[in-house]
Structure 1
Amino acid sequence: MQIARVCGTVVSTQKEPTLRGVKFLLVQLLNEEGQPLPEYEVAADTVGAGIDEWVLVSRGSAARQTPGGESRPLDALVIGIIDTVSFDNHLLYRKRDQDR
C-alpha cells in the first residue's frame, strides 16, 4: 500500500464496461515524511474520498482483490481514507474536522 493525497478527479464517459459507475481520482504519492513524490496515479475510488484527503492506495494485482474487482482492469484502488499519520513520534497528518 502507498499513502497518497487526492489532487483531482478523472472523468471518462467511454470506458471498459466493467468500469461503468466507478469513480476515478488523481492521487499524488507521498513519502514517509508526508512530502509529495513526483509520481501521480489514477486510482479507482470505492470509499468516497475527496480532494486534499490523504488515502491508502492499493496498487498492482492487489487492487483487484476486492469483491467484484477480480475482472476489472485496475492498477490502483483507493481502499481507505486516512484519519491520522504519525512517523517517528511526530504527527504528519490529521484529517480536518468537517464540522468546523
Structure 2
Amino acid sequence: MKLAKVVGNIVSTVKTPSHQNKKLMVVIPIDPSGKECGDAMIAIDRFHAGIGDYVLIIEEGGSARDILEDPNGAIDAVIAGIVDC
C-alpha cells in the first residue's frame, strides 16, 4: 500500500468493461510528511474520495481486483481507504 493525495478525477465516455460504472481518480504518491514522491496515476475509487483527500492505494493488480471483486478486470490501482487526518 502507498499513501497518496487525490488531485483530480477522470471523465470518460468509453471504458473497458471492467471500468464501467467505476469512479476514476488521479492520485499522486506522497511520503509521510506530505511531500510528493512519485508520478501521478489513475486509481479506481470505491470509497467516495474527493480532491484533496489523502488515501491509501494498492498498485498490485491481483489485490486491486480482489477489492473490486473482478478477477478478470484490467485493474492496476485502486483506492483502498481514505486517511482521516
The normalised TM-score by structure 1 is 0.77
Match of 1:72 in 2: 73
Matches within 5 A, 1:14-93: 14-61=14-61, 62-83=63-84
- Any idea what SS the aligned residue of 1:66 has? helix
Q: Deviations along 1:25-74, whole A, 9 cap, x unmatched?
A: 00011013221124111000011000100000011222112252222111
Q: Identify, as 1 or 2, the structure richer in helix.
A: 2
Extract unaligned runs of 5+ from structure 1: 84-93, 95-100
Partner amino acid, structure 1, of 2:70:
G
What's the Cα RMSD here? 1.2
Partner amino acid, structure 1, of 2:58:
S
- Any idea what SS the aligned residue of 2:80 has? strand
Task: Write the distance in 1 (CA, Å) between the matches of 2:42 and 2:68.
Answer: 20
- Any idea what SS the aligned residue of 1:3 has? strand
Q: Identify, as 1 or 2, the structure richer in strand.
A: 1
Contact 2:18 2:75 in 1 (8 A): no
Q: Deviations along 1:2-42, whole A, 9 cap, x unmatched?
A: 00000000111101112110000000110132211241110
Partner amino acid, structure 2, of 1:6:
V
Equivalences, count: 84
Extract unaligned runs of 5+ from structure 2: none
User: Percent same amino acid at aligned positions?
Assistant: 31
Distance 1:67 1:82, change over 3 A: same
Match of 2:4 in 1: 4
Partner amino acid, structure 1, of 2:66:
Q
